[in-house]
């Protein structure tokens, strides 16, 4: 069996799907192939075993000190992609495992079991402190096979609550770490249900709805204080071109608008400095901006049409800007798509407020639902053009649609978002605490 076939197999083992692809390659290089005849003991109860066993072909059964009701016996029959020995280390085996047929196992020796605990879910070779901030934000701690824990870093954008893009990116990361490495997300649909508390961890529970040869579907619930605050449904497709099975049809009608290149535009930091001294802007606005602490985002943004408008100036319901992650991201395509999901919520819904802005107007807005379609491979640490329009707003809901283009002018992502947009009301000082509805 060749290395690529072993990597593809390992990517289908639920225990290993949370690992970065670089870890799978390392495991593929050190696993040992073992063959067993029908009725032969694979491991003996009380014995040490050789490591962690992954069933490549055939079936086996757990017998011995395990008490099994007849109706539950199938739960202890092991087949392709099943595994045993995880977490045992060099301690003794707790039961016998016997081959029910001709059996082939890949064995990860004990001395290489540290490969199952990489520092990052995105890169097995890079220390966390060397990762860009957005990669750190999207790092999750695996708790169980389908359960992950995320946190809000002190330096992460918050906006008074858990940033919606963080929920999108972390939930998509959790879903991505439960599918085989050859499947990449092609679409997601999400609902924001409750305001998240950035002082508390977020638990992401993944439901494996379907696993097919070409597609897989996952549902992810983000949970705080026992409440589901966010839910995401994502679909993953196998990379047919990489597998050389099918090229598929290909056409591209959407065209990228003519805009200045990002190198010709000001960064957010440069734009802020210039606006502080721009006499065309109201003095009270400039003083307010100067007094407010500036917290850099992990995403670099350059507006295509910088102007002297403020958040109280009426303008068309459209926006175009270039963006990219700050720093060099790890190479996993799944990470780059998670970063795009994260960044897509930074300046999206607010475009639907543009035609309604006026002096003295204070607004509140929260995302309700968010959909993303990924059309082509992309790199989130290279410039992407975000083109946003808001075709409608009604009944306190604003709707936005958008496209993302790479520097070659190819459409790589399509997006929609709907959110609640209201004129702000005075806060109730007697409001209770606990789970806060977004409505």
Catalytic positions are: 345, 367, 417
Are 63 and 95 contacting, i.e. CB atoms less than 8 angstroms apart? yes
Kindly state the tokens that stand for 119.
């520092």
- Alpha-carbon gap, residue 171 to 384, rounded angstroms: 22
Beta strands 227-238 and 215-224 are: antiparallel
- Alpha-carbon gap, residue 100 to 196, rounded angstroms: 50
Q: DSSP strand E in 331-410: where?
A: 363-374, 384-394, 397-405
Q: Could you tell me the strand order of the sheet in which 41-43 lies?
A: 41-43, 96-99, 60-63, 77-78
Are 131 and 81 contacting, i.e. CB atoms less than 8 angstroms apart? no
Q: DSSP strand E in 58-169: where?
A: 60-63, 77-78, 83-84, 96-99, 103-109, 141-144, 147-150
- Alpha-carbon gap, residue 298 to 324, rounded angstroms: 9
Report the length, in residues, of the chain.
439
Cα atoms in the 13 Å half-sphere on the side-chain side of 313: 9
The 8 Å CB, 24+ separation contacts for 8-11 are 8/180, 8/181, 8/182, 9/54, 9/56, 9/81, 9/106, 10/54, 10/106, 11/180, 11/181, 11/182
If one counts every other C-beta atom within 10 angstroms of the C-beta of residue 53, the result is: 24
C-alpha triplet 355, 360, 361: angle, nearest 5°: 45
């Amino acid at each position: 069996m060749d290395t690529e076939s072993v990597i593809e197999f390992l990517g289908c083992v639920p225990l290993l799907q949370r690992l970065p692809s670089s870890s799978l390659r390392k495991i593929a290089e050190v696993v040992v192939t073992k063959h067993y005849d029908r009725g032969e003991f694979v491991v003996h109860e009380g014995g040490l075993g050789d490591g962690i066993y992954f069933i490549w072909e055939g079936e086996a059964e757990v017998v011995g000190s395990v008490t099994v009701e007849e109706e539950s016996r199938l739960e202890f029959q092991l087949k392709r992609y099943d595994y045993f020995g995880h977490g045992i280390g060099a301690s003794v085996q707790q039961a016998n495992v016997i081959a029910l047929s001709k059996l082939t196992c890949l064995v990860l020796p004990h001395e290489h079991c540290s490969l199952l605990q990489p520092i990052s879910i995105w890169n097995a070779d890079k220390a966390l402190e060397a990762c860009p901030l957005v990669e750190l934000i999207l790092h999750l701690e695996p708790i169980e096979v389908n359960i992950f824990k995320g946190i809000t870093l002190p330096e992460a954008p918050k906006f008074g609550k858990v940033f919606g893009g963080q929920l999108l990116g972390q939930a998509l990361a959790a879903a991505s770490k439960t599918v085989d490495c050859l499947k990449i997300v092609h679409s997601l649909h999400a609902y924001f249900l409750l305001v998240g508390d950035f002082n508390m961890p977020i638990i992401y529970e993944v439901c494996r709805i379907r696993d097919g040869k070409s597609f897989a579907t996952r549902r992810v619930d983000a949970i705080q204080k026992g409440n589901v605050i966010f839910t995401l449904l994502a679909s993953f497709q196998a990379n047919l071109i990489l597998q050389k099975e099918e090229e598929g049809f290909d056409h591209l009608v959407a065209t990228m608008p003519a805009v200045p290149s990002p190198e010709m535009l000001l960064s957010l930091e440069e734009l802020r400095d210039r606006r502080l001294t721009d006499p065309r802007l109201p003095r009270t606005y400039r003083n307010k901006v100067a007094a407010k602490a500036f917290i850099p985002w992990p995403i670099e943004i350059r507006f295509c049409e910088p102007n002297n408008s403020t958040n109280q100036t009426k303008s068309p319901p459209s926006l175009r800007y270039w963006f990219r992650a700050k720093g060099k991201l790890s190479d996993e395509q799944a990470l780059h798509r998670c970063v795009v999901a994260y960044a897509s919520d930074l300046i999206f819904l607010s475009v639907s407020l543009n035609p309604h802005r006026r002096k003295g107007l204070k607004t509140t807005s929260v995302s309700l639902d968010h959909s993303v379609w990924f059309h082509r491979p992309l790199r989130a640490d290279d410039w992407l053009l975000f083109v946003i329009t808001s075709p409608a707003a009604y009944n306190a809901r604003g709707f936005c649609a958008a496209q993302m283009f790479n520097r070659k002018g190819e459409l790589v992502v399509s997006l929609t978002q709907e959110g609640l947009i209201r004129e702000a009301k005075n806060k109730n000082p007697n409001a209770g605490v606990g789970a806060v509805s977004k409505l």
